[in-house]
C-alpha cells in the first residue's frame, strides 16, 4: 500500500511538473472568423480554416498554439460578444496574438439577426444606435478602431500583436485574384501601423500564391463557395501565413517555427460539429 501511494505521488508530481512546464511556454493565440477556424475545427462540411493547420508548423515543445477564432464573427462582434475578453484573460507576457478579420465586417449596423458590421476605415468616427434584435444601445466603431483595440490590449499584457490582412476569396478577373488592398486589407495595415504592431499582408501573399498555381488548380480549394477552404486550401494558406511570419523583421515568433511542418492528423469530428460561417 505504501509503495502504491509512493508511485501515485511520483506520478502526480511528474504530471504537475509537465503541466507547469506547458503553462510556462509562450502561447500563440489566433483570433478571427471562419477562414481561421471553420466550425469546430474538425473539417465539418469538408472545410477548414488556416488556423486549424498552422500548429503543425510550430515546435510544440517550445510553444503552444490556441485557435480561438470563431465563425461568423467580425472585428466588432468578436469584441462585443465578449470573446476577446476571454482570450485576453489568458494572455501573458511573452505570448503572441495573431489576428485576422474583415470577411464579416460588412452588412447591417443594427438591423436583422446578425448586426455585426463595423464602420469602414481606420478612423475614430463612431455611430450610436439600437440593436434591433436585442433592443440594446451600442456604439459602433470603425474596423480599424477594433483592430487597434486588440493591438493595444495585447501590448498592455506584454504580448506581441500581429495583424494579418484577410485571406482572398476565390474571385478572379483575367487570371488575377481580386485583392482587398483598397478596403479591409488596407485598413488592417493602417491599424497595425497606428498601433505599432507587426503586419502580414496575407491577402497579397496568398493572392500571389494562387496566381502561381493558376485558377484551375485553386478551384478545388473552395469546395462549396468562394470563401471557405478545403483541407488542401487551408494547408496552402497556413503555409502562406508562415511565409509572412518569416518575413517579419526582428520577430521572436520566427524562432518557434519548424523547418518542415509536421504531418497534420485531423482531429476526430465531434458529435455536434457543424460549420459556422
Residue 154 covered by a domain:
yes
Check the CA dihedral 167-170-171-173 and report its sign.
positive
Q: Which residues pair with 27 in a beta bridge?
A: 64
Residue 270 covered by a domain:
no
Secondary structure (3-state) at 11:
helix
The three grid cell numbers given for residue 19, joined into one nine-digit string = 503541466
The three grid cell numbers given for residue 175, joined into one nine-digit string = 487570371
- Are 176 and 170 within 8 A, CB to CB? no
Residue 276 covered by a domain:
no
Residue 170: domain span: 16-256
CATH assignment of the domain containing 102: 3.40.50.1110
The reported pLDDT for the residue numbered 266 is 84
pLDDT band at 267 (very low <50, low <70, confident <90, very high): confident
Residue 6 covered by a domain:
no
pLDDT band at 20 (very low <50, low <70, confident <90, very high): very low
- The distance of Cα 180 from the centroid of its chain, to the nearest Å, equals 17
| Mean pLDDT on 146-155 | 98
DSSP code, position 136? -
Residue 275 covered by a domain:
no
Parallel, antiparallel, or unpaired: how do β-strands 176-177 and 172-173 relate? Answer: antiparallel
The reported pLDDT for the residue numbered 262 is 94
Residue 271 covered by a domain:
no
Q: In the predicted model, what is the mean pLDDT of the chain?
A: 91
The three grid cell numbers given for residue 189, joined into one nine-digit string = 495595415
Residue 166 covered by a domain:
yes
List pLDDT tens digits, range 106-125: 999 999 988 999 999 999 99
List pLDDT tens digits, range 227-247: 999 999 999 999 999 999 999
| Dihedral pair phi/psi, residue 97, rounded to 5° | -125, 115
Residue 143 covered by a domain:
yes
189 or 15, higher pLDDT: 189
How many angstroms separate the Cα of 116 from the Cα of each of 39, 76, 105, 181?
Answer: 18, 6, 6, 22
Cα 54 to Cα 240: distance, rounded to the nearest angstrom? 10
If one counts the domains in the chain, the total is 1
DSSP code, position 249? T
Tell me which residue of 198, 170, 204 sits closest to 184, measured CA to CA.
Answer: 204
| Mean pLDDT on 190-203 | 98
Amino acid at each position: 500500500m505504501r509503495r502504491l501511494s509512493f508511485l501515485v505521488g511520483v506520478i502526480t508530481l511528474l504530471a504537475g511538473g509537465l503541466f507547469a512546464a506547458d503553462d510556462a511556454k509562450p502561447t500563440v493565440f489566433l483570433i478571427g472568423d471562419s477562414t481561421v477556424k471553420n466550425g469546430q475545427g474538425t473539417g465539418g462540411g469538408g472545410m477548414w480554416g488556416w488556423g486549424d493547420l498552422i500548429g503543425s508548423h510550430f515546435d510544440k515543445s517550445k510553444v503552444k498554439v490556441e485557435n480561438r477564432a470563431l465563425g461568423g464573427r467580425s472585428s466588432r462582434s468578436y469584441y462585443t460578444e465578449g470573446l476577446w475578453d476571454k482570450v485576453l484573460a489568458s494572455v501573458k507576457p511573452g505570448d503572441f496574438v495573431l489576428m485576422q478579420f474583415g470577411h464579416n465586417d460588412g452588412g447591417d449596423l443594427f438591423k436583422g439577426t446578425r448586426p455585426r458590421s463595423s464602420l469602414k476605415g481606420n478612423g475614430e468616427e463612431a455611430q450610436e444606435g439600437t440593436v434591433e434584435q436585442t433592443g440594446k444601445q451600442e456604439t459602433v466603431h470603425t474596423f480599424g478602431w477594433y483592430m487597434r483595440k486588440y493591438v493595444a490590449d495585447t501590448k498592455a499584457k506584454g504580448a506581441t500583436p500581429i495583424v494579418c490582412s484577410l485571406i482572398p476569396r476565390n474571385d478572379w478577373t483575367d487570371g488575377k485574384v481580386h485583392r482587398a488592398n483598397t478596403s479591409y486589407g488596407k485598413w488592417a495595415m493602417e491599424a497595425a501601423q497606428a498601433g505599432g504592431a507587426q503586419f502580414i499582408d496575407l491577402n497579397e501573399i496568398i493572392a500571389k500564391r494562387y496566381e502561381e498555381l493558376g485558377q484551375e488548380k485553386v478551384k478545388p480549394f473552395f469546395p462549396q463557395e468562394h470563401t471557405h477552404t478545403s483541407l488542401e486550401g487551408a494547408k496552402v494558406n497556413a503555409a502562406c501565413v508562415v511565409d509572412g511570419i518569416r518575413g517579419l523583421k526582428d520577430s521572436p515568433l520566427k524562432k518557434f517555427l519548424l523547418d518542415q511542418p509536421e504531418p497534420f492528423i485531423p482531429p476526430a469530428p465531434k458529435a455536434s460539429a457543424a460549420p459556422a460561417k
